[in-house]
Amino acid sequence: MQRRGALFGMPGGSGGRKMAAGDIGELLVPHMPTIRVPRSGDRVYKNECAFSYDSPNSEGGLYVCMNTFLAFGREHVERHFRKTGQSVYMHLKRHVREKVRGASGGALPKRRNSKIFLDTDDDLNSDDYEYEDEAKLVIFPDHYEIALPNIEELPALVTIACDAVLSSKSPYRKQDPDTWENELPVSKYANNLTQLDNGVRIPPSGWKCARCDLRENLWLNLTDGSVLCGKWFFDSSGGNGHALEHYRDMGYPLAVKLGTITPDGADVYSFQEEEPVLDPHLAKHLAHFGIDMLHMHGTENGLQDNDIKLRVSEWEVIQESGTKLKPMYGPGYTGLKNLGNSCYLSSVMQAIFSIPEFQRAYVGNLPRIFDYSPLDPTQDFNTQMTKLGHGLLSGQYSKPPVKSELIEQVMKEEHKPQQNGISPRMFKAFVSKSHPEFSSNRQQDAQEFFLHLVNLVERNRIGSENPSDVFRFLVEERIQCCQTRKVRYTERVDYLMQLPVAMEAATNKDELIAYELTRREAEANRRPLPELVRAKIPFSACLQAFSEPENVDDFWSSALQAKSAGVKTSRFASFPEYLVVQIKKFTFGLDWVPKKFDVSIDMPDLLDINHLRARGLQPGEEELPDISPPIVIPDDSKDRLMNQLIDPSDIDESSVMQLAEMGFPLEACRKAVYFTGNMGAEVAFNWIIVHMEEPDFAEPLTMPGYGGAASAGASVFGASGLDNQPPEEIVAIITSMGFQRNQAIQALRATNNNLERALDWIFSHPEFEEDSDFVIEMENNANANIISEAKPEGPRVKDGSGTYELFAFISHMGTSTMSGHYICHIKKEGRWVIYNDHKVCASERPPKDLGYMYFYRRIPS
């Protein structure tokens, strides 16, 4: 047994004193009710701290709580003990030593080591090093140690619990390669599936349900090629169940979800077996309808076999191969290990945490965020963002090897492994949770992940602070009706600028034509392919293409009360503080093979888009009347539509909340349910899709005959708010966040029952912190409840000059966003740095012309 000084290497630490078996049992008796045996479904974290990237390899080892099975490094275990009162932890430490060499210089035969029970992400070659894992129980607050195994002295329950923790599997099993993709059963209908020879060919885009107007959650029946919508889900994917109805009518069992088809497979569902399945003949079944997956099959690097020679230059140029790059260490120069096609996430997060606003919001608030984290910090977005940001920026996990340390390690025959980047497993597991694509091991689109991350930041604000506002800007859309010549101006929020590739403006057209003719001749005669010729596109041409008018075929002309053709132009109604530019390099061919425009664009270091500032309604322009299009109700629901608007107090609040949980504004959800006559969330969802781009989409519901607009909070929950008595539903939501009831009522009364403003009011009145009960509830709540000073209300855009400077860009190598590799370049301390997964080096030739996403910061005027 040892005391605290010995465990933490503190002065005065001694070897401790031994205790008899009876003493150990007596010591554990008070803590026995808190020691649990992991059950099926429990996540046991024994490789990574919840707040840092400490592991059993770290100098202080790792502490696993024997009640929650969360793990903590030496710097954070005390926080968990103080917050929860849990006293018993299992301390895990891995010792790494270089193997003893024989006379011939080779390693001696391996010795069987029974003390290896940890499955860590070691970068060391197991043929050169040997491991010894050490486990012991530690009892807080006195830090008593009990060595393991200790069957004779420990109570049976404790021994069973310890064995279960040590033998537990990784909580990230579903993320690990080759462990979850094969869990799906092979459909019994796949081998002998009947496919009708009806001439159906499926285009690569523009799909629509054959029985309704839905354009998402669509499924292709693999027997007759019908495209129909799926079931209704409350994860933003709506449907009317027409694919299931078609199966019941025809009996065709298998369908594949459009939009999920990749070179590695797709989402296939068996209606007969009532579960997702694998179709080993999917490529053949899709080819029947003109979808070619065989050409999409990639090599290990995601390249087509016949494209390796063509695109090898892209890989070499972007990765700066052939150049001796100097490794970079220290704060801000920490790499991220690749978990298997996770480079899209790594590249985006490196760029995000190079922005000061994100650094301040998370790393700058680290003590408060960690102190107010929920009891399970692995399931809290702000905690995991802060953990990742600190891991990247602290320099703690990016230290260069020191010669004196290496000599000392050799003398002691003990190896202290240098941290070679950090593993974002815990972060990826949380941010990709419930997302069908990001939770897989398939390659993803970095632009889509960027928007997904912004959405998570928006939904998990730290008090009134929202770092994603630096990307937020307003777009003014002007649509002119081709028949009446009248115009309509609307504004919408966006977070990135999508720049089209102006292929027609290539400056080397003759060279491209000659290359294409030579390539076709070489393929026809089976000769070696010619060296790749890349199209050179002026940036000015792409910017001009962005600002050109766009034809709109299904524009609702309120003057005609019918759909009409229109012409749409888009301008910046505000300029963001940080401008993200995406080059639209990717498209699909008619054969469904993803194609990438192989282009070089001379992206400028200094960007001026002030000429794209919106001008608003111009003299001589006549606005279209503000009349909304009629609500389209499915035929089978028309007989349920009421002849008059419902009483606002009768609005179906369950439908409102179902829609709100999908991420839509509460006011919009209430209006959707109201104007569709309480016909359910499915019909209301269709209303939202039709109206979501209208300028008053999220404005409070104006109820005819009820005295104008209801207050924001009241309109959500069906209370008129005339007496300013807060509705119980809103009070319940605030109290469920951990606040006191009297505090919730006072805040709602002060803000006219506006839920969002009431929360800001609570944050700006921290005197309630003095109540101990409130503090306890706060500690059990999410980080959104961190008390901070509220900022004055105002527009959530940071408008200013449209002049920018390039500071980062993300490049993609490969034929499509579903394969290949991503790399990030960031300008730090006056020089460019390349972030290639865990490798961080000074860049010698940053390939700014081959980027996919560009990050610009505003130049102060």
Instruction: Give the residue numbers annotated as catalytic, written as ranges.
Output: 343, 821
Report in angstroms the alpha-carbon separations of 243 from 210, 254, 272, 495, 637: 10, 10, 12, 34, 18
Q: Which amino acid is at 322?
A: G
Check residue 650 and report its DSSP letter. Answer: G
Beta-strand relationship, 254-257 and 268-270: antiparallel
Burial 143-164 (b: 16+ CB within 10 A, else e): bbbbebeeeebbeeebbebbeb
| Amino acid, single-letter form, for residue 124 | L
> With DSSP H G I counted as helix, E B as strand and the rest as coil, what are the percentages for the chain, rounded to 5?
30, 20, 50
Coil, helix or strand for 813?
strand
Alpha-carbon distances of 358 from 342, 454, 455, 456, rounded to whole Å: 21, 11, 14, 13
Contact 254/270 with Cβ under 8 angstroms? yes
Contact between 71 and 63 (Cβ < 8 Å)? yes
Distance separating alpha carbons of residues 802 and 581, to the nearest angstrom: 13
Q: Which helix (H) or strand (E) holds 404?
A: helix 403-412
350's CB contacts (< 8 A; 6+ apart) are: 336, 392, 808, 824, 826, 835
Asked if residue 327 has a cis previous peptide bond (ω within 30° of 0), the answer is no
Q: Which long-range contacts (CB under 8 A, 24 or more apart) does 57-60 make?
A: 57/94, 57/96, 57/120, 57/122, 57/417, 59/416, 60/8
Q: How far is CA 419 from CA 119, 399, 401, 422, 592, in A?
A: 17, 7, 10, 7, 43
Give the chain's radius of gyration (CA, Å): 30
- Point out which residues pair with 702 in neighbouring strands: 709
Residue 607 three-state SS = strand
Kindly state the tokens that stand for 15.
């070897």
717 with 727: CB under 8 angstroms? yes
Extract the tokens encoding 730: 């809103």
Token digits for 175? 């993320």
Strands (E) located in 24-117: 62-65, 71-72, 88-98
The set of long-range contacts for 481-484, using a CB threshold of 8 Å and a minimum separation of 24, is 481/555, 481/557, 481/559, 481/560, 481/564, 481/565, 481/566, 481/624, 482/564, 482/565, 482/566, 482/567, 483/557, 483/560, 483/564, 483/565, 484/557, 484/559, 484/560, 484/564, 484/624
Per the structure block, which two tokens stand in for 515?
């290359």
| Ramachandran angles phi, psi of 221, nearest 5° | -75, 125
Please say whether the beta carbons of 91 and 140 come within 8 A: no
In angstroms, the CA 626 to CA 19 distance is: 83
Is residue 72 within 8 Å of 51, Cβ to Cβ? yes
Of 285, 291, 798, nearest in space to 591 by CA: 291
CA angle (592 as vertex; 590, 597 as ends), nearest 5 = 80
Contact 343, 822 (CB under 8 A): yes
**Encoding tokens for residue 566?**
């229109």
Give the whole-angstrom CA distance, residue 700 versus residue 667. 5
**Please, which residues bridge with residue 500 across strands?**
584
